[in-house]
Structure 1
Amino acid sequence: MFILKLLIRNAFRHKLRTTLTIVGVAIAIVAFGLLRTLVDLWYAGVEASSASRLITRNAISLVFPLPISYKDRIRQVPGVKDVSWGNWFGGIYKDEKNFFPNFAVEPKSYLAMYPEYVIDPSQVKAFALDRKGCIVGRKTAERFGWKVGDQVTLRGTIFPGQWDFVIRGIYRGAQKNTDETQLFFHWDYLNETVKKTIARRADQVGFYMISLTKPEQAAEVSLAIDAIFKNSLAETLTETEKAFQMGFVSMTEAILVAIQIVSYVVIVIIMVVAANTMAMTARERIAEYATLKTLGFGAIHIAGVVFGESIVIAMIGGIAGVACTFPAAHWIETELSQFFPVFSIAPQTIVMDLAAALVVGVVAGIFPTWRGATIGIADGLRRIG
């Protein structure tokens, strides 16, 4: 405890310089933590995927639809427990900036496949009975001040027109990483309207969701489904939900690599700044170190003081940065929920933050420590300033 007190007192002999260094380290740690969280967020959908669900889409691209008649043939495949289907709707609420995911789905089977969407049974029943009904995530409902019974109008982009819905339920996530920003409505409502307006696009779905009786049968069930529709006008590609999500992540792999590089560059920059600070401190105290040696203190004692001071400054900055990361993440999750529906700091990110701060302290203290420990008594006492 005495040594720690000595190191802290020594570190703050130049209060302004030390404070600015600590602030710099804290800002770097906040940036590092947020960037690492952003990378983790990119994989959130992958981590939340269920091993007992498959997704079947058009083999060419997700843009191309599949006939609704496929559902009956998929149900007959051994190992398939249930089948649901849906379309990405892409509707806009009032203005493009009010983006949130919205899908047309088959209500009963879809909600049964996703127990992570927690919703009151009475609201589920009301949703099922109302053809124009919809359910919406808690965060989106709070964002726009919606409540059960409100009427909502979305402007279609993929499916043009003004689409009216009545909110029949609000769901919340069973886990922290569950997306609570989505809106779901009846696929039948979409299909019936499309039949009247764009008949050629009717009776088509964007994807099929398939639940399995046994997760270990995923590979053979996928192959069996794709074999059924091989050489048809709309061949299928069936994959696990995790593989499907990874497909989206792989499209933006270059962005992820860039973010990771930037996060490390931030640490390197603050490492250089901290090293410069410690080098200035050591240079100013050369005469003090020489005096300590004349009093009998060895090189190990001098090294301990210099190196310890570097670690103390870096770790104070690191702890301050970690403390500031949480409110920063909360602000991002609140104000930018349309882009980051979930933005929570993982425990491993905190560990990485503190490890990064420790690395900064260690690297920044190496040269000053060596300089202080190896300075000769005569050379040190000859120096002024």
Structure 2
Amino acid sequence: MKQWVGLDIGADTVSACIKDDAGCVLAKAELMASDEDITKFLLRYGSSESMVVGLEAGSTGIHLTRKLRHRGYQVHVFETRQTSKFLSIRQNKTDGNDAEGLADLVRLGRGVVAEVSVKSVECQLLRSKLVVRQKLVSHRMAGEGAIRSAFRLNGGKLERSYSAVGLRRNVLSEVKKIKDREGVDLTEDVLPVLEICEATRRHLERVDRNLMKLAENHPICSRFLAIPGVGPITALSFYSAIGDPARFKRSADVGAYFGLVPRLKQSGGTSVRCGISKMGNAMTRTHLVGAAAAIMRQKSEVGVLRVWADNLRERSNYRRVTTALARKLAVVMLSIWKSGQTFDPNPRDLDTIGKELRS
């Protein structure tokens, strides 16, 4: 007889609920958020083979999922947004009610609410590196935007910089120009922000070098780098987001996984195609769109993907073509990964790329 377990995970505690096949509550408890305490509680009511555990996706939940699976439990991790709608059926939202709802979800709704694939430790570490890099880039852009705004208010302009050394040179030069021309000294306002931006740029340069080495030495990501427009960040981001390519029966499904397909609203005789769904990981979707934009900007080397995009450009606008090319790029990358082949950018070899590229 199966027993269905719902775990509502908080910051330090876990609300647990065990139900039988008929939906009757067998036990409820408040536990510490550790696999040892959860295992001790579950073993009072049955073995790991008889327990099916359901919980909501999250950083702490993923860690507990790995621990519980290692102990022999069957654990299902559900997508946060859909789970929240399922749990909102109950009138009162409490940790105990959420645990009871998760037990019902794993008992009845596994075919309704989407499940989340738990990434390997390798992919999780790569994602952490990429997330930290993204935060640093946002931090740098905010700081440099503040400097640029201060210059514009006084009739100045910050030239584009490609390194920390170039940034300092351009900022100090513009501060001097504004002081000589307008009689306004921005040194006290700008220099503290400049030092932060400069340190952030130097750290980002080190991070990018390390990520470049990781991508070049990785057996899968190194093959992605052969695709024009795909850099180490996009390659690592795509690899770590997918984790296991066998999850996709068709390579074409990866576009919907990253939210790069249109949404459809249909009611009665009305059918409206809206913008892309933007489901899935936003960071990887941004990287794919950036790689597609890089392919569209190429002038010296025109490969098979650019030829495909140019043909589509004849009947659509630049923005939609770039999104479609990002979706096609994801399909090609997954096809390369699953087949073990390398990418050939020669348009004359279009037939050898695969059915997904010709569609």
TM-score of the superposed pair, with normalisation by structure 1 = 0.23
Computing the radius of gyration from Cα coordinates, the structure with the larger value is 1
Higher RCO (C-alpha 8 Å, min separation 6): 1
TM-score of the superposed pair, with normalisation by structure 2 = 0.24
